[in-house]
Amino acid sequence: MDGKSSLLLNIFMLAGSDFTATAADALLTSHDLGSFIDCLAIAHGTCQRFVENLALALIVPVAGMVLAIAGDVTPVVASGLLIGGTLLVVINSRRSLAGMPFRAP
C-alpha cells in the first residue's frame, strides 16, 4: 500500500436480500443510523479497554517480579501483586458494562 489506510465496511439495513445480509459486516435492525454510531462508540471503547487491560496484565505482575528479584518485597507480596493486577483487569473490564442492562445467559 502507499501508506494510506483504507476501510471498507458493508452495512445492511433489513431491506435487501438474504445474501446481502450474510455478506454484510454490520446488520442494522432499524432504519436509524444512530444505532450504528452507538455501535461504533462501543467498539471504540472496547478497543481502549483492551489496550488498558493488556497494559495492566503485563505491568503489574512484571513489577512484582522485579521487586521480588531485587529483594524489595517478599515473594508473598509479589504474588499478592499478581492477584491484585488480575483484579484490576477484571474491574477495568466491568467499566465497559456500566450503564448497560444485565442480561442473563
Q: Which residues contact 44 (CB under 8 A, 6 or more apart)?
A: none
Kind plus residue range of the DSSP H or E element containing 1? none
pLDDT tops 90 at residue 51: yes
Q: Is 71 exposed, middle or buried (0-12, 13-18, 19+ CB in 10 A)?
A: exposed
pLDDT tops 70 at residue 101: no
Model pLDDT, residue 7: 55
Report whether 20 contacts 12 (CB < 8 A): yes
Distance (Å, whole) CA 7 – CA 27: 17
Number of H-type helices and E-type strands within the chain: 3, 2
**Tens digit of pLDDT for each residue in 7-47?**
566 666 666 566 666 666 666 766 777 777 877 787 888 88
pTM of the predicted model as reported, rounded to 2 decimal places: 0.63
